[in-house]
Each structure stands twice: as C-alpha cells, then as structure tokens.
Chains A and B, each alone.
Chain A
Amino acid sequence: MFLWLRRSYQVVFLLFFLFLVLASTSIFIRSYDVQWFLELDPLVALTTALASGTLHKALWWSLPLIVLTLVFGRFFCSWMCPMGVLHHLLGHLGRKRKVLDRMKQNLPRPSHKIKYAILAVMLGLAAAGSVQIGLLDPIASTWRGLSTSFLPAASNTAYGLYQGERHFQWGTLITIVFFGALALNFVYPRFYCRVLCPLGALLGLLSKFSLFRISKDPSKCNDCDVCGADCQGAADPQGTVRATECMVCLNCTKGCKRGGIAYRFLPALKLSKTSTDLSRRKWITAGIAGVVAVPLARASDGVDPRPNPARIRPPGAHDEPDFLSKCLKCDACMKVCPTGGLQPALLEAGIEGFWSPILIPRIGYCEHSCTLCGQICPTGAIRHLKVADKIGNMPEKPPTRIGSAFFDKGRCLPWGYGTECIVCEEVCPTSHKAIYFKLDTITTRDGKQKTLKFPYVDLDHCTGCGICENRCPVVDRAGVRVSAANESRTPKSSMSLTGGRI
C-alpha cells in the first residue's frame, strides 16, 4: 500500500513540476509562484546564502524540507524530486532481469561517495562567492533541460504553438548534459542519484540524524538478501542499512515476505550505518579545492576586469560579483522571457558565468515594460523591478539600463548606403526616443542631391533593450548593435557623467 502511496506522490510531483515549467510563460505566469520547486531546494538556499551572505526570502521554503528530512530521512529523492522520478522510471533501462543480478547491481559501491566530494567542492565554491550548484543540482538541471532543450524542440516541431519559435545558443550542450544524465541509467539504475547528485548528498548528510529509518529485525531476517534487489539508493538493506543512501522508496519492505525489514521510528542505532565513507581528509580537501578554485578562476577571467560587450545582463540583475553569488543557471528567466532573447552564456561572462543569462538582441530584445525575469528568479539574482523603476521617467529618474546602442556606420543603411530606413528610431520604445535622426543632404554616385534621415543615439535615454538591433533590416550582423556599456547596475559601466556616478 505504501508503495502505491509513493508512486502516487511521484506522479503528482512530476506533473506539478511540469505544470509549473509550462506555466512559466508571459501569458500564464500572472503572479503565480512557478519557481516554487527551486525555492524548496535546501542546496540552493545554502549555497546562495554562503556566497551572498543573505538568504532570499522565498528560499525559506527549504526549511520545511530540511525539517522533514531530519525526521523522515532522504525521502525527497524517491517521493518528490522530479529528476528522481525520471531516474526511477528510466532506471528500468539498466535494470537486470534476474533477482541475483539485481542484488549485485544494487550493492553499495565506492563510487557512491563521489557525490559527497562534489557537494564539498560546491560548498567551497559558494563560500568563496561563486554559486555553481545549478550545474548539477537536480531541480535546476531538470528546469534547464526542459526550458532550453526539450520544450523548445517540442514547441518548434509543433510550429511554435506553445511559446513561438525558441532557439538557445549552444543548447546542444544543455541537451547532452540533461539527456546524458538520464542515459546514465544504462550503466546501472539511478547512477546520477547515487554517484553525482549534490542535493542527494546534502539530504543524505541530514539523514544521519533521521528519526524514522529502514531497519532489519534480526530476529525475523533469514539473510535471503532479496530486500536489496530493488533498492533505489543502493543502501545495502541486506547488510547494515545506510541511512545516508536510503531514499525511503520502501521497495525492500515489499521484497521481504517475513516482515524482517520495515520503516520504523527510532530503530536501534547499530541497525543502520551513518558514515558517508568519504574520509574526513577527503571532505576537507574537496572543500578547500572549491574555495581555492574561485581565486584561480578569477585570476584567469576575473569577474569584471575586462567586461565582455556581449555580457548584457537581464534588467534588475545585480552587479556582477553579487549576481554570480546568486545566479543558479536554472534558465527560468530564459524560459519566461517573452521574446526568447535571454540566452545561456558560453564564455561571455567568463568560466564562472557559464550558462548564466545574457541578452542576445539579435535573437530577442528586452520588452520595455516587462519584468518577468526578475519575477521568476528564485534566488533574487535578478531583482523584481517595478515597471516604473525599469522604464524610469527622464530627466528626473533614469531608466534601468542594461547596455546601450551603437551604430556601425559601415552597415547602417542611411550611413553606409544613403538608403532611407530609420526602423531603429521607429521601434525605439523610450519617450523621448533614445534613437533620433537628423536630416542631411548627401550627393549620390550620379551627382544628385538626396536628403534623408540619419540616426543617432542619445545615451541618457537609451536603455539597451536591443529592439533596434533586433529589428534592423541588415541581416546577420545588424547596423546598430547593443553592448553592455553604460548598464546601470554598476557605476563602473557608466560612460556618461549624467547622474554623477563616478
């Protein structure tokens, strides 16, 4: 009966997760808390709090999960985790047929402690100010895999019926990592959960203190070892149950016909094992490796020494070091962006900013009055701006700038070819328009006089939204392009003395 209860929970939570991902579009989102699963994740709360020194308020949602894990053990993996459910299902790909083979397949292996080393490295990175957890965290990974790999492919195949055409730069890498993790079930069931998952590792650590545990009743057990045949966590129920690995899937209780193994309140301590098998020396080394990796990485690329012009952050993004101390790379902002312009960075933001969001205006621009990326961001890496704060009210109140537009006069139609155009000025959403024109008369090749409109940029009004670059009729590389210069999140990026920020 409890197995059916577990399966129902798994189905419900997987469907709920899918629903939340699907609902994160500009039409459906309204003010729903669609990012709830990401806020629930204790690892997200822990790493962003370590890195930024503050706990974004919505991340309090992780506290109930922490408390429940302390009481019931690592149940999250087998009852709630959407990626866990997928792995549970796909585990059947690598599942052996014979009971004896399955018992061997599900024995604890030395490799299962790798996840604790990964967790230690991630915590070390976070302590040094860099949140990289989203690369491997199951909630962030599943969100990213669905948002920027699976759903765009499905929607594009269906003529963009769901969210219009969507393309993500080098989404192939996201596809390989996401589906690669699922394919690891061919090696043995739940390979990712057992070997790699850092959230599983964190919940495993908490389970050392759990009050309810799976335990054997030595008086009833005849050591047939069948309980281990379908153990999801390779928690060794046939030996001494490992509280850190047990995912409370309850499969072992089904296998035992004698009632020799059960989920009990406060079983004798000697009936379960709580060691992670990772030696203290390795824990500490891995943690230090994480801490040291940050200055090493920054000695190479740095966070800000040579800003990349393509590193155009979403409106409301914090200053780069703060941003990197919070951004999960979960791709929720990219999913909800109505134009699809927010894209996973490759190297535009250095190695630390890999897969963090940047705007690529040629793909999609930033809607003037839209603040959805800040609304959905689960960690507050992008602040949820009020529309009035985003668009400002010049000259009293400057807008939130994410960059500014520059003309490439060799490619711009009026400047380069003496052709009438001015589309950039037409679509410019600010009032007054940041792109304006002056009339000028030129002499054409055949000696005739021609008067036409030549576009210019007013730096004080330009928000860097990129609609000019997006709509420029010059195909491939536009005649007007946006770079991150003059973004308002830091005075360092400012080129203009207006506003007096040095």
Chain B
Amino acid sequence: MSDSDQKGNGDIVPEARLRDVGANRASDKERPRDEDRRTVLRVGVTTAMAAGAVALGLGLRAREGHGKSKTLPKVKDHRVAKVAGAVEMAIVRGPDAAANVRRAVEAVGGMGRFVKRGERVVIKPNIGWNRLPEQAANTNPEVVAEVVRLVAAAGAGKIWVTDVSVNTAEQCFARSGIEKAARAAGAIVVRPEATAFREVDVAGKLLRTGDVLYPFVDADRVINVPVVKQHSLSGATMALKNWYGVLGGQRVKLHQNIHLSIVDLAAMMKPTLTIMDATRILLANGPTGGSLADVKQMDTIAVGTDEVALDAFGAGLLGLSPGDLGFIIEGMKAGLGTSDWRSLKTEELGG
C-alpha cells in the first residue's frame, strides 16, 4: 500500500490529529511568551485593519456640495491700449493676399504695436470644414501663414494656430491647407484633441461655462483671422461668429439663441487684433459651401480692433445690411464696437 492510501484511511487520521493536539499543549508550557506575543500581534493586526477600513470609508465619504466651490479660470483680456490718432481700421485690396495682410497690418501701426517680444500668441483662423482653399469655407492658408510670419517677426515667444473643426479635424486641417502653411511659417498647430480643452468661466449673459482650447487660456495675445461667409442661421459668419471655434462640447445647442451666444463668446475673448480674410468670400450655401459657383474673388483684407465694425464692413461685401444681422445689433448693445465703420479712422489702400 502506498502512503496516500494510508492517509485516506479514516481510522488513522483522527488519532494522528489527537497526537498533534497533545504535542501543542506540551509546547504551551515550554514557550508561553511566544503564545502571548502571537495573541498581541493578531489583535493588533485586526485592530489596525478595522481602523484602516473605517478611516478609508470616512475619507471617501461623499461630502454635501463637494466640488461646487471649484473656481474656473477666465479667459484674459487680450487687448492692447489704444494709441491716440492711430488708424483704427485698414482695408487693403490687391491680387497678393499675403501682401494685403502686410500692408493692412502696417497701416494700423505694425504687428509690433500688438505683440511684444516673448509673448505667447494664438492665431484663430476658421478651419471648420473639410474643404479646399478655393471653396472659401475656411480662411485662406496664405493669409494665415502671413499672419504667423508677422507675429514671429514681432518676436513672439510661442505661436499657436488652432480651431475646433466641425468636420473631422485632421481632414479639415489638412485639406484647408492651413496646417501645412502655418507649420512652414513657424507656428505650432494644435488639433482639437480631447485632451486640449480647459473648462472656463464664460461669464456671459446667456453662457456660463464652456470647454475652450488651451491656447486661448494660456496665450497673452489672440489674433482672430476669420473668413467672410454667408451663414444660414446667423446671416453671416465673419469675425464675431468665428469665436464659436474656441469651444468644444455640445456647441450645437448655441444655435437656439445664436446672436446672444456669439456676443457672449466675443465678449469673453477680447482679441488683440482681427485680420479679416475676404480674399475669397462665400455668398451662398454657407457656412459649408462646396460649389465654386457660390465663391466670389474679392482680394480684400480688412484689419482692425473693432470686430463689430469689421463685421459691418464684411456684411457689405456679402450684400447684407449690418442692421439685418442680430449679432451686430447685440454686439453694439454689449459695447463691443460700432457698426458704423466709416466713423472710425479708416485707411483704404488699393491694389
């Protein structure tokens, strides 16, 4: 018979157990201190585990109102001080879009007036749609590249180019030509990935909080580079409406009160400078476009610090009256600027 068979025998096992118990008793007398120590240890371990469980439970207890006191960051005021007597708005027409940008920025005092050495600057074109430059649904890439170069020449410490696209961002950034042009000009192109957003306090009349791309929270200066397009709901999308593109999240809800939403976002952003691209404008089927039949070549760049005035000018290019556009009326009420752009000190340069 093998060992295992013996162990399985019912008669042998209980006897062996009895013997073991007797042996333990004998050792009790010999080493009582060991037994005491073991008891203390066991009680100690159990007590520590119990105390730990209670402490962990209390620590994890959900507190009433937990998290409500969190204060959200606000977007900075990016404007620079006005210079008395300076040109407030420049309109340049000519066949070379980049040259138009240079001349217009020069006319309002040069980029050095708006961007100081070492400042971090974010440039916000419209990169909303998966369209080619000729279709005029996005800002012209040459215009964006020229703005990047001017900002770089002014000595900016960091230059971001970013937007929250409506179509798939990687395709919009590629097909608009903006990603390539802006990178070649020396900018950091930030795609609107999930990790790129920060929640901010919008502090608007309608909008309270929103998720904004981080360059708009971190930057010292913001330059708006919109394109001029017809838009079915708001009438047009130009400078003020371009601020939709800083937002992530469920921004399609803003359409329920589009004009106030536009004004709230523009009031939050307070850009340093606006460079409006009307090289090609989209007259119909906006803001997406698609057909070249709806595109009109205007070869115009308008630059200024008053977004309402620039939008009023842009409305004229689209054949609209500023008084027809709700966001211009609301923008004036909110003190963002004047729709009477001719009342500003304006310089117009031909090509």
B231, CB-defined interface residue at 8 Å: yes
Q: Which of B171, B232, B289 touches A425 (beta carbons < 8 Å)?
A: B232
CB <8 Å contact, A422 and B255: yes
Chain B neighbourhood of A433, CB < 8 A: 232, 285, 288
Residues in A with CB closer than 8 Å to B256 are: 413, 419-421, 473
Q: Which of B276-292 contact A (CB under 8 A)?
A: 285, 287-291
- Asked if A165 contacts B194 (CB within 8 A), the reply is yes
Question: How close is B192's CB to chain A, nearest CB, in angstroms?
Answer: 10
Known: A160-B195, A161-B193, A420-B258. A370 touches B252 (CB 8 A): no
Q: Whole-angstrom distance between the alpha carbons of A431 and B253 in the complex?
A: 24
| Chain A residues within 8 Å of B297, by CB | none
A421 touching B167, Cβ below 8 Å: no
Which residues of A sit under 8 angstroms from B233, Cβ to Cβ? 420, 422, 425-426, 453
- Minimum Cβ distance to chain B for residue A434 (Å): 11
**Interface presence of A26 (CB below 8 A):** yes
Q: Give the Cβ gap from A383 to chain B, nearest Cβ, in Å.
A: 21
Q: Which residues of B (232-259) have their CB < 8 Å from a CB of A? A: 232-233, 250, 252-253, 255-258
Docked pose: A369 CA to B257 CA in angstroms: 31
The reply to whether B168 and A26 contact each other, CB–CB distance below 8 Å, is yes
Query: CA–CA, A428 to B129, complex, Å?
Result: 11
For residue B294, which residues in chain A have a CB less than 8 angstroms away from its CB? Answer: 431
A27→B194 CA distance, assembly (Å): 17
A499: B residues at CB distance < 8 A = none
Q: Which residues of A contact B257 (CB under 8 A)?
A: 420
Within 8 A of B (CB), among A252-299: none
State whether A422 and B130 are in contact (beta carbons under 8 Å apart), knowing that A370-B171, A472-B252, A473-B253 are contacts in the complex: no
Residue from the list A159, A420, A423, A431 in contact with B195, Cβ < 8 A: A159
Interface SS, A side: loop
A65-116 contacts to B (CB < 8 Å): none
Which size class do B's interface residues fall under?
A: 20 to 34
What count of chain A residues pass the 8 Å CB interface test? 35
- B54 in contact (CB, < 8 A): no
Task: List the B side residues contacting A420 at CB < 8 Å.
Answer: 233, 255-258
CB < 8 Å neighbour of B171 from A26, A159, A419, A428: A26
Q: How far is the CA of A368 from the CA of B255 in the complex (A)?
A: 23
Report Cα–Cα, A437/B231, bound state, in Å.
13
Among B233, B250, B287, max chain A CB count under 10 A is at B233
How far is it, in angstroms, between the C-alpha of A19 and the C-alpha of B258 when the chains are bound?
Answer: 45
Cβ of A427: which chain B residues have Cβ within 8 Å of it?
Answer: 166, 288
Q: Which residues of A contact B291 (CB under 8 A)?
A: 431-432
Q: Roughly how many angstroms separate A159 CA and B196 CA in the complex, as a whole number?
A: 10
Q: Is the CB of B130 within 8 A of A368?
A: yes
* A473–B255 CB distance below 8 A: yes
Min distance, Cβ B280 to any Cβ of chain A, angstroms: 15
Identify the closest chain B residue to A424 (Cβ). B252
Are A421 and B255 also in contact (CB < 8 A) when A165-B194, A429-B290, A437-B232 are?
yes
Cβ of A339 and Cβ of B168 under 8 Å apart? yes
Contact yes or no, B289 A431, CB < 8 A: yes
Complex: A159 Cα to B170 Cα, angstroms: 16
Query: Does A159 lie within 8 Å of B290, measured CB to CB?
Result: no
Flag whether A338 is at the interface (Cβ < 8 A).
yes
**Selected A-B contacts with CB under 8 Å, 11 pairs:** A159-B193, A368-B167, A370-B130, A370-B168, A370-B171, A419-B256, A420-B256, A429-B129, A429-B290, A431-B290, A473-B256
B contact set with A: CB distance below 8 Å: 129-130, 166-168, 170-171, 174-175, 193-195, 231-233, 250, 252-253, 255-258, 285, 287-291, 294
Given contacts A369-B130, A370-B168, A420-B258, 20 further A-B contacts (CB under 8 A): A26-B168, A26-B171, A164-B193, A165-B194, A368-B167, A419-B256, A421-B255, A422-B232, A423-B252, A423-B255, A425-B233, A426-B231, A426-B232, A426-B287, A427-B288, A429-B167, A431-B285, A467-B167, A471-B166, A471-B252
